[in-house]
C-alpha cells in the first residue's frame, strides 16, 4: 500500500513540475544559489527589488537539434516594492495607471524554461557566485560561446500590506497562463 501511495505522489509531483529535459535525457542539479535583482513590470521600470535562490536542472546531452534544455527555478523569493507603476499597469488586460507604493513586501516563486545553443555541457562545471544569473550559469556550464533563450516563464507573487487593492500577480508567458492579477495600492 505504501509503495502505491509513494508512486502516486511521485507521479503527481512530476506532472505539476515544469520540465524541459527531454524524456530519457540525464540532467544535473545545481543550487540553490543566492541571488537578487530588480524586477521589471509590464511598463518597463522595476516595480520591486527581489532576493531569491536559483536552482538549475541542466541537460547533460544535447537535444536532436544540438540545443540543451535547462529548467531554472526561483525559490524562497522575497520582494520589496519601489513607488511607481504597479507590475501589471501596462498589460492590455490590466488596469491602466495603477500604482504601487514603496515598501510593500511579499513572496514569490517561479521558473524559466531555457534553451541553450552553441555550447557543450561541461561535466566538471561548478556553480558558486558566478551562477547568480541565467547568463552566468549558461557560460559556466555550457561555455563562453553558448547563448540562450528563455522560451517560457511563470512567476506567482503574493503581497502583504493593509493598503493594497490587489495582492496577487501572475507574470507568465502565454503557455503558462499569461499575466493576471496585480499588486497595487491605487
The CA angle 54-10-5, to the nearest 5 degrees, is 145
Residue 15 included in any domain: no
Residue 176 included in any domain: yes
Q: What pLDDT, on a 0 to 100 scale, did the predictor assign at position 25?
A: 66
Please count the structural domains in the chain: 1
Report the pLDDT averaged over residues 86-108: 95
Report the pLDDT averaged over residues 33-46: 95
Residue 20 included in any domain: no
Residue 18 included in any domain: no
- Which range marks the domain in which residue 94 is found? 25-184
**How far is residue 56's CA from residue 150's CA, in Å, rounded to a whole number?**
13
Report the pLDDT averaged over residues 124-148: 94
Residue 146 included in any domain: yes
Look at residue 34 and tell me whether its pLDDT is greater than 80.
yes
Residue 111 included in any domain: yes
Look at residue 178 and tell me whether its pLDDT is greater than 70.
yes
Residue 3 included in any domain: no
The two counts, helices (H) then strands (E), for the chain are 2, 9
Which residues are bridge partners to 44 per DSSP?
none
Report the pLDDT averaged over residues 55-71: 97
Look at residue 185 and tell me whether its pLDDT is greater than 90.
yes
Look at residue 126 and tell me whether its pLDDT is greater than 80.
yes
pTM: 0.84
List of residues 6+ apart from 59 with CB closer than 8 A: 20, 21, 22, 25, 26, 27, 68, 69, 70, 121
Residue 52 included in any domain: yes
Q: Write out the three cell numbers for 176.
A: 503558462
Report the pLDDT averaged over residues 84-101: 94
Report the pLDDT averaged over residues 117-121: 97
Report the pLDDT averaged over residues 4-14: 38
Q: How confident is the model at residue 4 (pLDDT cuts 50, 70, 90)?
A: very low
Mean pLDDT of the chain: 89
Element (H, E) at 74: strand 68-81
Q: What pLDDT, on a 0 to 100 scale, did the predictor assign at position 161?
A: 84
Q: How confident is the model at residue 162 (pLDDT cuts 50, 70, 90)?
A: confident
Q: How confident is the model at residue 24 (pLDDT cuts 50, 70, 90)?
A: low
Look at residue 23 and tell me whether its pLDDT is greater than 80.
no
Amino acid at each position: 500500500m505504501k509503495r502505491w501511495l509513494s508512486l502516486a505522489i511521485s507521479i503527481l509531483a512530476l506532472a505539476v513540475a515544469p520540465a524541459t529535459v527531454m524524456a530519457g535525457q540525464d540532467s544535473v542539479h545545481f543550487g540553490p544559489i543566492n541571488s537578487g535583482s530588480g524586477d521589471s513590470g509590464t511598463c518597463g521600470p522595476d516595480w520591486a527589488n527581489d532576493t531569491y535562490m536559483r536552482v538549475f536542472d541542466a541537460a547533460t546531452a544535447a537535444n536532436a537539434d544540438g540545443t540543451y534544455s535547462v529548467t531554472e527555478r526561483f525559490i524562497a523569493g522575497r520582494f520589496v516594492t519601489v513607488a511607481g507603476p504597479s507590475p501589471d499597469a501596462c498589460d492590455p488586460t490590466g488596469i491602466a495607471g495603477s500604482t504601487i507604493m514603496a515598501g510593500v513586501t511579499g513572496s514569490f516563486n517561479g521558473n524559466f524554461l531555457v534553451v541553450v545553443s552553441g555550447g557543450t555541457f561541461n561535466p566538471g562545471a561548478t556553480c558558486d557566485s558566478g551562477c547568480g544569473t541565467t547568463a552566468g550559469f549558461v557560460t559556466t556550464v555550457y561555455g563562453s560561446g553558448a547563448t540562450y533563450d528563455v522560451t517560457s516563464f511563470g512567476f506567482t507573487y503574493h503581497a502583504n500590506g493593509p493598503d493594497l487593492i490587489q495582492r496577487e500577480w501572475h507574470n507568465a508567458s502565454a503557455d503558462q497562463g499569461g499575466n493576471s492579477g496585480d499588486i497595487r495600492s491605487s
